[in-house]
Amino acid sequence: VTPSPIKYTHDDDLKLLLENIESLHENLARREKNITKQEADLLTAQLHSNRLATKLEQDEAELNEARNNAALRSLELDQREQLLNLEIDRREQRLNQQEQLLKLKEAQLLQLEQSLYDRAKQLASNVCINSNIVATD
């Protein structure tokens, strides 16, 4: 008995169809595996990206805090400088007043000295006049 050519072709077609289905199944499994790996890689990259974004936000917050602290310190230093300048001005004013007072006292002392000198001269003149009067008597 010889097999009929139709049956042979039909079995052959079924065999080819089964091989194609198995090949498609393997390809599909590989693609699913690749897609799963790509998804895992993407999730890993997203996680890494999220971590970097969080770190960046923390760094920006620290930088802003440092800037705010620097600005606050700058204000404090400016206020301190203003207070020191006011103190310097006050001391300079007090020194100027003391200097003026010293000049006034110096002028008074010079006047007093001149007055004493004039009085001594007058007394010396009176002594000379008195001694001449006594000598002539």
Beta strands, E only, 2-80: none
The per-residue pLDDT for 102 is 97
Per-residue pLDDT reduced to its tens digit, 83-135: 999 999 999 999 999 999 999 999 999 999 999 999 999 998 888 877 777 66
Report the C-alpha gap between 58 and 52 in whole angstroms: 10
The per-residue pLDDT for 2 is 60
The per-residue pLDDT for 8 is 56
Total-model pTM? 0.50
Q: Which residue has the tokens 């890494």?
A: 48
The per-residue pLDDT for 44 is 97
Per-residue pLDDT reduced to its tens digit, 39-88: 999 999 999 999 999 999 999 999 999 999 999 999 999 999 999 999 99
